[in-house]
Structure 1
């Protein structure tokens, strides 16, 4: 086994692919769609030389369509672009970005183990493996729906966790999330910063993720890598995230730094991860290695980062079994996220599960899904007009904007904090002995705070 330290120059992350087939007229495609992984196709880096040559010469659209799109997009080169026209529902999966945030809870038992663990370095092994585990699910080739302002998602009945997320801003698009069980709390504020480069775009995760392990009050901070979307117009589109992931114990100063290998020619280095857990003096204590789509392991190491004699690699995480030939490449947990089995009593009317476009797509009715999606977007615009005409300002329900502005590697971030009101709301609902028997699926989707408006 090669030492992770010797591979640091190779960079981070084995090509977290996320792509889609392209549909519709090029003039209706949006920069935001590309940034949100709409309209992307996955390159096959494991193909042979002939496959690679074919990919290199294969355009995403017909020549006339491609030229038209290129003329439209040239003016955006070098810009941070985040909001344009959305793409057809045909390329979407029946899930929203708020639900996708909840997918990080699939392997939450790793955080339970981190909380129970007394070894400070093993805590970081468990916590960092938890952060890696979601990338297997994130390689799906479908685009999640963008949340409506005020939309929420609730998750219960999984590892004792209560999870709530909310769309707290529309321009710029920002989401906030909070999860909690007896072992940990998880809080995230998420938004993106982008740079369009012509035939590619760099996407920077200007967000903050914090985990508090309850037993000792340890605070962990996660910095994920940036992403590069390649061959937007010419060639076959594919996604890579070279860089590094850093998990820092803010309480002790220890940290884990993991390097995910970029996807090279013919798939070289794909999925591979290596790195170290360091103490506060930046001395390596444990090495970590594996593949983000399969397994992660750890081993004690010396000051040079080499494995200690008479020690061996020990497995800490392995990907769970998953459905074969699933239409949307969902894991079993992704199906649970859409299920009302993981919904609490008296589901909020703003919950993503209740979106009519998402539900129609899940049932395979593309025509209805597209119409419902357009309707929701127009109602969102109408509500904004009404709100601004009345001088009202949108205020999130479950998260509060703070005065804190935290620096990230890609810019400053306004931080939202969980306000605890959802915990009180859920406790009040769960304490009721008599819950009416209305079918939750018949509840009308209603995230609107200033009137459920139709097109004016």
Structure 2
């Protein structure tokens, strides 16, 4: 039996597409007339439509702001709008894209189990379940802040992991990340490509994700499906990632091929995942099934893909409990991402937690958050002018641009590699024996290459 229906693609940063979720409620009246959507039935992907029409009439913005934003966005239809649009802070969540990258570490114990497993196929069961587990968090429709060039995010005190991400390019937006514990090393270079379609946006993560399992040196390569954000103009905004997720064991040739079912009418098939673990000869060995917002299970299968006799379906992953009625639909781990409890001693001044706009939004001060966001963007532009005037190029601190260029389904990707300097930096601090009594929250956010430039 072959793999489920194929649609080869990728979809790690579904959340970035939430930049445009604001249109889902804010422009129902002004846009429906322009696009001829009057009288079109609004479908609720959760099932049913009893409250979808009411939601379509409700927006986050004042009526007078709606037309102006739609007129601004019309010129971008068909374009890649990854970083060209400035949006109001009211649609943001108090987290940056670098922190969003760290959410992949919530269920990192699955990678520990993959490393401990002697069964090559179970390694892929655990590792592919880890890759799928993050989709529960990525269904949020709030937009994370775009990182400032040179911004970083550090995470410790979770499963023995040290995680570091850095914004290595602004145009195009690119981030690099590295995580490590006793069982695995994780490396990612991420670049997004989007296509704005008026009532939806397609998101193509032009990235490369690699996981090395330390015990045997096994290297895993991950290619998730693309993402589509629906109902940008009217109705309930929701995220779908139909297509294949492929995780390949580059050492042995075994692979996991898991198909994300597309959402049908009234939510049919949404969240559902089915697929197989294949050996290097492309023979199915283990079947997997479940829902990315609930749990995943596995069962050994025969060469036709049918369950083996005298075996049973076993659960490999289950979503953790979440806080009830959370404003931003955060998991408990997402709250830890923002916490200074998961920060190392002597946090880098470039860390996302220290961003004044993000922190103000976390405290509920939208006015201050908007002012600080504008100030940071102006200072970033000022630094760019200074850099260009001096004939300088931006150089990341913790990742090096390599000569490697890899081909993805959506374009070429330059690869950044972790250079190890952060490990040396952290070791020197941890071994110094000094205790920093300074309140880390009072540290001034400083990702700048030339220091804090004025905006003039």
The TM-score, its normalising length taken from structure 2, stands at 0.89
| Aligned positions of 1:102-181 closer than 5 A | 102-181=102-181
For 2:84 and 2:431, how far apart are their aligned partners in 1? 44
Pick closer, same or farther for the CA change 1:70–1:190 going to 2, 3 Å: same
Deviation, 1:162, is 0.5
1:433-444 alignment runs, 5 A limit: 433-444=433-444
> Per-residue deviation at 1:22?
5.0
* 1:431 equivalent in alignment to 2:428: no
Deviations 1:25-52 (A, max 9, x none): 98xxxxxxxxxxxxxxx97322325556
Moved more, 229-238 or 199-208: 229-238
Displacement of 1:83? 2.5
Following the alignment from structure 1 to structure 2, what is the Cα–Cα distance between the partners of residues 140 and 389? 40
The superposition leaves residues 308-366 of structure 1 with CA deviations (integer Å, 9 ceiling, x where unpaired) of 11110011111111111111111111111111111111100000011111111111111
Are residue 8 (structure 1) and residue 5 (structure 2) matched? yes
Shift of 1:172: 0.2
Measured after TM superposition, the shift of residue 226 of structure 1 is 0.7
The 1-side partners of 2:266 and 2:24 are apart by 27
Q: Who is 2:261 aligned against?
A: 261
2-side partners of 1:77 and 1:169: how far apart? 24
2: distance between equivalents of 1:185 and 1:344? Answer: 19
Q: Which deviates more, 56-65 or 251-260?
A: 56-65
Q: Distance in 1 between matches of 2:250 and 2:339?
A: 36
Once structures 1 and 2 are overlaid, which stretch shifts more, 422-431 or 434-443? 434-443
| Equivalent runs, 1:234-273 vs 2, <5 Å | 234-273=234-273
Structure 1 residues 9 and 212, CA, compared in 2 at 3 Å: closer, same or farther?
A: closer
Aligned to 2:94: 94
Q: For residues 406-421 of structure 1, what are the structure 2 equivalents within 5 Å?
A: 406-421=406-421
Displacement, 1:90? 1.3
Matched, 1:333 2:330: no
Q: Secondary structure at the match of 1:400?
A: strand
Contiguous gaps of at least 5 residues in structure 2 = 28-41
SS in 2 for 1:392: coil
Q: Is 2:220 the partner of 1:228?
A: no
Alignment-derived partner of residue 211 in structure 1: 211
Structure 1 gaps, min length 5 = 27-41
Q: Provide the aligned length of Structure 1 versus Structure 2.
A: 437
Query: Which stretch has the larger CA shift, 138-147 or 250-259?
Result: 138-147
> What does the per-residue CA deviation read over 1:188-214, in whole Å, with 9 as the maximum and x for residues that have no partner?
000111223333322111000000000
280-289 or 228-237, which deviates more: 228-237
Counterpart contact for 1:165–1:178, Cα < 8 Å: yes
Tell me which residue corresponds to 2:31.
none
Secondary structure class of the residue paired with 1:188: strand
Please state whether the residue corresponding to 1:247 is helix, strand or coil. strand
CA contact (8 A) 2:10 2:224 kept: no
TM-aligned CA distance change 1:306 to 1:12, over 3 Å: farther
RMSD, aligned CA: 2.8
Q: Secondary structure at the match of 2:444?
A: coil
Contact 1:12 1:260 in 2 (8 A): no
The alpha carbon displacement at 1:68 in A equals 5.6
Check whether the contact 1:58–1:236 (CA below 8 A) recurs between aligned residues: no
Return the alpha-carbon distance in structure 1 between the equivalents of residues 3 and 112 of structure 2.
Answer: 32
Give the Cα–Cα distance (whole angstroms) in 1 for the partners of residues 184 and 393 of structure 2. 33
CA–CA distance in 1 between the matches of 2:174 and 2:336? 24
Report if the CA contact (8 A) 1:12-1:258 is conserved: no
Counterpart Cα distance in 1 of 2:353 and 2:377: 17
Whole-angstrom distance in 2 between the partners of 1:242 and 1:130: 18
Please give the secondary structure, in 2, of the residue aligned with 1:258.
Answer: strand
The structural deviation recorded for 1:12 is: 9.3
Structure 2 distance, partners of 1:115, 1:305, is: 26
- Alpha carbons 2:97, 2:146 under 8 Å: kept: yes
* Structure 2 Cα separation of the partners of residues 210 and 431 of structure 1: 30
CA distance in 2, matches of 1:436, 1:108: 30
Query: Residue in 2 aligned with 1:35?
Result: none
- Range with bigger deviation, 182-191 or 58-67: 58-67
Is residue 285 of structure 2 the alignment partner of residue 285 of structure 1? yes
Whether contact under 8 Å (1:55, 1:236) holds in the other structure is no
Aligned to 1:306: 306
Between stretches 122-131 and 335-344, larger displacement belongs to 335-344
**Pairing of 1:354-365 with structure 2 (within 5 A):** 354-365=354-365
Q: Secondary structure at the match of 2:194?
A: strand
Counterpart CA distance in 2 for 1:104 and 1:231 is 26
